[in-house]
């Protein structure tokens, strides 16, 4: 996956995602929507052959890029904990 910043405002960012992997995107959106400072998080794919997927994050307070980083870090920690648990129990 490759990310390209398409639009950046005080309370909004739009990121174009090339070769998007919905297995990662949907948990990221879920995590963003758990943040009380996030007003909206959307993922639009458009036409599969003509358009690139776009992730839009709108915040009530703070910076949208900070909310995105926080959500990504939270997901990374969740997957690390799951991996450690699996390794411990199957080990």
pLDDT tens by residue, 32-67: 999 999 999 999 988 877 888 999 999 999 999 999
Supply the pLDDT for residue 32. Answer: 97
pLDDT of 51: 84
Structure tokens at 91: 């080990």
All structural domains of the chain, each given as residue ranges with its CATH number in brackets, are 2-90 (3.30.1360.10)
> Mean pLDDT in the chain?
92
Please check the confidence at residue 18 and state whether its pLDDT lies above 90: no
Q: In what helix (H) or strand (E) does residue 41 lie, and over which residues does it extend? A: strand 38-44
**Within 10 Å of residue 41's Cβ, how many Cβ atoms?**
22
Query: Using CA atoms, how far apart are residues 59 and 57, in angstroms rounded to an integer?
Result: 7
Say if residue 46 is exposed, middle or buried (CB neighbours under 10 Å; 0-12, 13-18, 19+). Answer: exposed
- Predicted confidence at residue 50, as pLDDT, reads 82
Contact between 57 and 64 under an 8 Å Cβ cutoff? The reply is yes
């Amino acid at each position: 996956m490759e990310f390209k910043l398409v639009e950046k405002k005080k309370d909004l960012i739009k990121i174009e995602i090339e070769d998007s992997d919905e297995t990662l995107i949907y948990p990221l959106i879920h995590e963003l929507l758990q943040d009380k400072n996030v007003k909206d998080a959307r993922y639009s794919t458009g036409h599969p052959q003509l358009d690139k997927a776009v992730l839009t994050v709108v915040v009530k307070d703070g910076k949208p890029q900070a909310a995105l980083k926080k959500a990504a870090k939270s997901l990374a920690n969740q997957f690390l904990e799951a991996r450690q648990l699996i390794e411990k129990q199957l080990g």
